[in-house]
Amino acid sequence: MVEAYESLDYEYALDHDCTTLSRHVFQQLQTFSADAQDLSAIMNRIALAGKLIARRLSRAGLMEGALGFTGSENVQGESVKKMDVYANEVFIAVFKQSGLVCRLASEEMEKPYYIPENCPLGRYTLLYDPIDGSSNVDININVGSIFAVRQQEGDDLDGTASDLLQSGRKLIAAGYILYGPSTVLVYSIGKGVHAFTLDPSLGEFILSSENIQMPEHGPVYSTNEGNFWQWDESIRDYIRYVHRHEGYTARYSGALVGDFHRILFQGGVFLYPGTVKKPEGKLRLLYETAPLAFLAEQAGGRASTGTQDILDAVPEKLHARTPLIIGSKEDVALVESFIQERSRQAIAAH
Ligand code: AHG
Ligand code: MN
Ligand code: MN
């Protein structure tokens, strides 16, 4: 009898300690259907990409050719880091011959990358930002990868991937990997937001926080105040408000993934508004702002361009940008209230 109880306890402990990512996807979908198998396998591949990137980052300072710039620019006109190229290729490599994903679209590639041999089977597209916060790479500060999964619609016979130019409401799954003191993968398939921590001794992502709920309000505002005089007056109004009221504090890491992760757990708001030179801001809709907006909404928070929900924004091209205000419901609404007030004043003045 005693032995039976002991073995039961042991099983329970194992169960509790070892909820892996692929198992969690099945638990969430409550089926082993072909779609569930696909999604579980896709998440597993993304996790493998995360492990490979985390491994390289953890040794980058000791390796030849891992850090620094490549000397070229990407389609966005931004200087490319060697780690951007490596991480971009890792995602392609893990999905080749997987039968899972027909197209990959990334910040680092002008056009989607097709894996024709996968297309008859895997009618999914992976959209990703291979390294988010690349300016942090060379100084050993946190960076991330952002991903989104969409179902391919139509045959895309002309290879333009025009079906990707739809709103974020089309997302099947989204998430990010944060390469910090530990490597954490956060994902949602539309059933809450869940975090997994990489246990290096197992080489597995293990469930560490389930059904994360973003607080309705938080003390942090996270933005690059160096752009203060480039912003619209309404954003300056908001910043003046938080400067003049108690209970606010600034945090900005230079990597959206890290700043968002803090807000996901502790509340607050991250802003990357448009500037005079770039009215659409800097961040890209399909593989930066929409996936994080999907997570924010799933965790009870919000994401806005200032005038509409990010998830309703429709990109006019693959690398389209949007302003971003994301985080706790109350804090996003506060920023929006300053934008609405200035636009009321502008209408009244006409
Ligand atoms: P990426 O490295 O993918 O180009 O993204 C960088 C983004 C984002 O991670 C961060 O929040 C923001 O750029 C920082 O921009 P600023 O240096 O203009 O503040
Ligand atoms: Mn980025
Ligand atoms: Mn990037």
Could you give the CA distance from residue 142 to residue 174 in angstroms, rounded to a whole number? 20
Nearest alpha-carbon partner for 306 in 286, 323, 281: 323
Residue 271 near residue 223, CB atoms below 8 Å: yes
Domain identity same for 187 and 228: no
Domain identity same for 251 and 167: no
DSSP string across 315-350:
-SSTT-B--EEEE-HHHHHHHHHHHHHHHHHHHHH-
Residue nearest to atom 19 of ligand 1 (CA): 224
**Distance (Å) from CA 107 to ligand 3 centroid:** 6
**Distance (Å) from CA 129 to ligand 2 centroid:** 6
Could you give the CA distance from residue 220 to residue 254 in angstroms, rounded to a whole number? 15
Q: How many residues are recorded in the chain?
A: 350
Kindly tell me if the per-residue pLDDT of 6 is higher than 80: no
Domain identity same for 70 and 198: yes
Hey, is 173 helix, strand or coil?
A: strand
Among 167, 183, 209, where does a domain finish? 209
User: What local confidence, expressed as pLDDT, does residue 170 receive?
Assistant: 95
CATH number reported for the structural domain that contains residue 277 in this entry: 3.40.190.80
Residue nearest to atom 2 of ligand 1 (CA): 133
Domain identity same for 61 and 137: yes
Does residue 214 fall inside a structural domain? no
**231 Cβ contact list (under 8 Å, min separation 6):** 273, 274, 275, 276
Domain that residue 87 falls in: 14-209
Does residue 3 fall inside a structural domain? no
Residue nearest to atom 17 of ligand 1 (CA): 254
Note the pLDDT tens digit of each residue in 158-179: 888 899 999 999 999 999 999 9
**Cβ of 136 less than 6 Å from ligand 1:** no
**Cβ of 84 less than 6 Å from ligand 1:** no
- Mean pLDDT for all residues in the chain: 93
Band of the pLDDT at 133, cuts 50, 70, 90?
very high
Which of 1-10, 11-20, 108-117, 209-218 bottoms out in mean pLDDT, i.e. has the lowest? 1-10
Q: Kindly state the average pLDDT of the residues 130-154.
A: 96
**Distance (Å) from CA 132 to ligand 2 centroid:** 4
Note the pLDDT tens digit of each residue in 307-322: 999 999 999 999 999 9
**Distance (Å) from CA 226 to ligand 1 centroid:** 13
Among 147, 180, 209, where does a domain finish? 209
Give the total number of structural domains in the chain.
2
